[in-house]
Chains A and B, each alone.
Chain A
Amino acid sequence: MNDIRMGIIVAMLAGGVFFTFVSAVGVIRLPDVYSRAHTASQTDTLGAGLVVGAVVLAYGFESEVIKAVLLLVFIFITNPTAAHAVARAAYEEGIEPWTEGDERR
Chain B
Amino acid sequence: MLETAFLATAAALVVLAIVVLYRAVKGPTMQDRVVAVNVLGTNTVVILALLAVAMDTEAFLDIALVYALLNFLMAIAISKFTVKRGDVI
Cβ-defined contact, A85 with B80, below 8 A: yes
B47-81 near A? 1/0 per residue, CB < 8 Å: 00110110000100110110011011001101110
Could you say which residues of chain A place their CB within 8 Å of the CB of B78?
86, 89
Q: In the complex, which of the residues A52, A85, A92 contacts B46, with contact meaning CB atoms closer than 8 Å?
A: A52
Contacts of A51 in B (CB 8 A): 9, 13, 46, 49-50
Number of interface residues of A (CB under 8 A): 48
Cα–Cα distance between A52 and B50 once the two chains are bound (Å):
8
Check A59/B45 contact, CB under 8 A, given A28-B19, A78-B69: no
Q: Is the interface of B mostly helix, strand, loop or mixed?
A: helix
B34-54 contacts to A (CB < 8 Å): 34-36, 38-39, 42-43, 45-46, 49-50, 52-53
- Interface residues, chain A, with chain B CB atoms under 8 Å away: 1, 6, 9-10, 13, 16-17, 20-21, 23-24, 27-28, 33, 36-37, 40, 44, 47-48, 51-52, 55, 58-59, 64, 67-68, 70-71, 74-75, 78-79, 81-90, 92-93, 95, 105
28 contacts between A and B (CB under 8 A): A13-B5, A17-B9, A17-B16, A24-B19, A27-B36, A28-B19, A51-B13, A51-B49, A55-B49, A58-B53, A59-B53, A64-B58, A67-B58, A68-B49, A74-B65, A75-B45, A78-B68, A81-B89, A83-B35, A84-B89, A86-B35, A88-B79, A89-B79, A92-B83, A93-B29, A93-B82, A95-B29, A95-B31
Binding site for A on B (CB under 8 A): 1-2, 5-6, 9, 12-13, 16, 19-20, 22-23, 28-29, 31-32, 34-36, 38-39, 42-43, 45-46, 49-50, 52-53, 58, 61-62, 64-65, 68-69, 71-72, 75-76, 78-80, 82-84, 86, 88-89
